[in-house]
Amino acid sequence: MNCIFCLISPDKYLAENEYFFAIRDIHPITKGHSLIISKRHTPDFFTLQPEEMTALLEISRIMRNLLDEELHPEAYNLLMNCGSAAHQSIFHFHLHFIPRYHKDGLSLRAINEKLRSIAF
């Protein structure tokens, strides 16, 4: 399998639990932009198992606490694309965890355009 997410080394992890790990996005659209990625190769949110959904909430809280302490963002966008029509480009579940700042100059439309422009 040639999945870029399946090849990520654990020494790159910011946080992890039994089902997910988090890393910094290699093309961040804001300071601290991170990805929460399933350890199991599964295409999207709708293919996660119930225990994985619970673990996703858990690691989301961990990431929020980590980023709050490190960067003090004022808000967050949590984004996922499910399917090619939604511009998903890597078919391995991942959640964009995007810290937001009042003067970052990004609208939700701008975020979507930036994500589309860096898609593989």
CATH number of the domain that 104 lies in?
A: 3.30.428.10
Domain span at residue 30 reads: 10-117
Per-residue confidence band for 93, with pLDDT thresholds at 50, 70 and 90: very high
Using alpha carbons, select from 40, 51, 37, 39 the residue that is nearest to residue 80: 37
71 φ/ψ angles, rounded to the nearest 5 degrees:
-120, -15
- Is 94 marked active-site? yes
Q: What is the pTM of this model?
A: 0.89
Q: Which residue has the higher pLDDT, 5 or 113?
A: 5
pLDDT greater than 60 at residue 89: yes
In a domain, 5, yes or no: no
Give the Cα separation of 100 and 96 in Å (integer): 12
What is the per-residue pLDDT for 109?
A: 74
Indicate the number of domains in the chain: 1
Give the Cα separation of 46 and 75 in Å (integer): 25
Please compute the mean of the pLDDT values over residues 70-79 and round it to a whole number.
Answer: 97
Which residue is catalytic, options 72, 94, 96, 102? 94
Rounded mean pLDDT of the chain?
A: 93
Report how far apart, in Å, the C-alpha atoms of 91 and of each of 43, 76, 100 are: 5, 23, 26
pLDDT greater than 60 at residue 1: yes
What is the per-residue pLDDT for 119?
A: 59
What is the per-residue pLDDT for 105?
A: 84
